[in-house]
């Protein structure tokens, strides 16, 4: 039987623009006929996997998402004294193992950036082991002044897999045999109540401008959208799939689960942080672990939460829904752990112990 670990989080953000759409406004979603603030799954996952907390917990096991692995190799080869045409050709051959090579023909662009055709059109998620293999080969080619052999152009590995690839998956259209199915699913976070997006009109003053009638006025004016919400976030981890992706390494699995759990509680997306300082810890969290089929508790907020005590009402709704669903579906014995920051109930340490046990 597959073991699923489910995290349900309520995190309150005041004025914020954590995740923008193409116009620069906060992303939204309509639920139950009401407009809610939204934070995309991609935004949440990137914030977690690139955080200092994640790096410190899992140093040496985190992958790199890039289209520039061939450029990195070509630069090493070029710095080793190989001619530019050969460095580009060999770097391109290396890049071709991870995706489709760019084929830029515009001479002005090529003159400005000769290594552009060592990049791939797609981003490839590369493990530390795979990246080191690329760099080691580049150093060898630079030293021996020769082209790579077909046997050497085989970098993709399933052993020593990066934890973020194991969690969030990898898709390589040109190398499907090295695709990794994600073991962790992250829903788009959304506000439990209806939100009105507001615009902040701001000005910047030129410090060296004289305060005279002729030079009166701002040096710059602009506006930025923002909103406030108590967000519900849902995460589902297939523990067995994650262990398989990590090649059966139970110790690394436990470290990965603890790091992901702590990041989901503490790490905020980076959008407009310098403007709003919108950093927050989860105010409430529920973690469930069982072999039952997973399910979100988003239905608790189909009707927007209103009033002056949204957090307490949101907790009441989500716990009531969970209890009722467990009763109906016969899952009353599902093990769980909770944390309620506003009331000082539970602890992060206990929650992480439960997730990783």
pLDDT at 215: 64
**What string of DSSP letters covers 107-138?**
HHHHHH-TTGGGSBSS-EEE-HHHHHHHHHHH
Q: Strand 220-238 vs strand 198-204: parallel, antiparallel, or unpaired?
A: antiparallel
φ and ψ of 12, to 5 deg: -100, 125
80-100 burial: b if 16+ Cβ within 10 Å, else e: bebeeebbbbbbbbbbebbbe
Angle at alpha carbon of residue 207, lines to 203 and 212, rounded to 5°: 90
Angle at alpha carbon of residue 39, lines to 38 and 41, rounded to 5°: 125
What one-character DSSP code corresponds to residue 267? P
Name residue 29's beta-bridge partners. Answer: 36
d(CA 131, CA 90): 16
Angle, helices 348-356 vs 250-266, to 10°: value is 140
d(CA 290, CA 46): 27
Name residue 290's beta-bridge partners. Answer: 4
Give SS3 for 297: coil
d(CA 2, CA 238): 7
d(CA 305, CA 311): 9
- Residue in 230, 169, 310, 171 with CA at minimum distance from that of residue 39: 230
- Residue in 174, 161, 193 with CA at minimum distance from that of residue 13: 193
Per-domain boundaries in the chain: 4-61+181-356, 65-159
- Residue in 261, 280, 267, 290 with CA at minimum distance from that of residue 348: 261
| Per-residue pLDDT of the chain in tens (357 residues, 90 and over written 9) | 789 999 999 999 999 999 999 888 899 999 999 999 999 999 999 999 999 999 999 999 999 999 999 999 999 999 999 999 999 999 999 999 999 999 989 899 999 999 999 999 999 999 999 999 999 999 999 999 999 999 999 998 888 889 999 999 999 887 888 899 999 999 999 999 998 888 877 777 777 776 665 666 666 777 788 889 999 999 999 999 999 999 999 999 999 999 999 999 999 999 888 888 999 999 999 999 999 999 999 999 999 999 889 999 999 999 999 999 999 998 878 899 999 999 999 999 999 999 999
d(CA 321, CA 6): 15
């Amino acid at each position: 039987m597959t073991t699923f670990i489910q995290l349900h989080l309520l995190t309150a953000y005041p004025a914020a623009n954590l995740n923008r759409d193409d116009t620069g406004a906060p992303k939204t979603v309509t639920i139950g006929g009401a407009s809610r603030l939204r934070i995309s799954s991609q935004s949440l996952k990137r914030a977690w996997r690139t955080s200092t907390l994640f790096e410190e917990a899992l140093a040496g096991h985190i992958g790199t998402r890039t289209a520039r692995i061939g450029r990195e190799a070509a630069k090493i080869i070029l710095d080793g004294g190989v001619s530019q045409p050969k460095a580009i050709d060999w770097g391109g051959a290396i890049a071709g193992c991870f995706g489709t090579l760019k084929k830029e023909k515009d001479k002005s662009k090529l003159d400005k950036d000769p290594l552009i055709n060592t990049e791939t059109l797609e981003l490839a998620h590369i493990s530390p082991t795979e990246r080191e293999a690329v760099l080691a080969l580049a150093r060898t080619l630079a030293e021996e002044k020769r082209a790579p052999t077909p046997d050497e152009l085989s970098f993709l590995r399933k052993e020593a897999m990066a934890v973020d690839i194991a969690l969030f998956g990898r898709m390589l259209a040109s190398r499907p045999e090295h695709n990794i199915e994600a073991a962790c699913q992250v829903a788009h976070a959304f506000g439990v109540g209806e939100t009105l997006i507001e615009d902040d009109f701001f000005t910047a003053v030129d410090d060296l401008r004289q305060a005279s009638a002729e030079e009166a006025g701002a040096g710059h004016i602009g506006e930025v959208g923002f909103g406030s919400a108590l967000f519900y976030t849902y995460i589902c981890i297939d523990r067995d799939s994650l262990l398989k992706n990590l090649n059966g390494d139970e110790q690394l699995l436990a470290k990965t689960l603890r790091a992901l759990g702590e990041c989901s509680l503490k790490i905020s997306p980076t959008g407009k942080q310098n403007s709003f300082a919108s950093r927050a810890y989860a105010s409430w969290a529920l973690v469930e672990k069982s072999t039952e089929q997973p399910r979100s508790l988003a239905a608790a907020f189909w009707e927007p939460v209103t009033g002056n005590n949204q957090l307490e009402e949101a907790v009441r709704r989500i716990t009531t829904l969970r209890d009722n669903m467990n009763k109906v579906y016969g899952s009353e014995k599902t093990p769980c752990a909770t944390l309620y920051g506003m009331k000082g109930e539970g602890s992060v340490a206990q929650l992480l112990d439960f997730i990783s046990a």
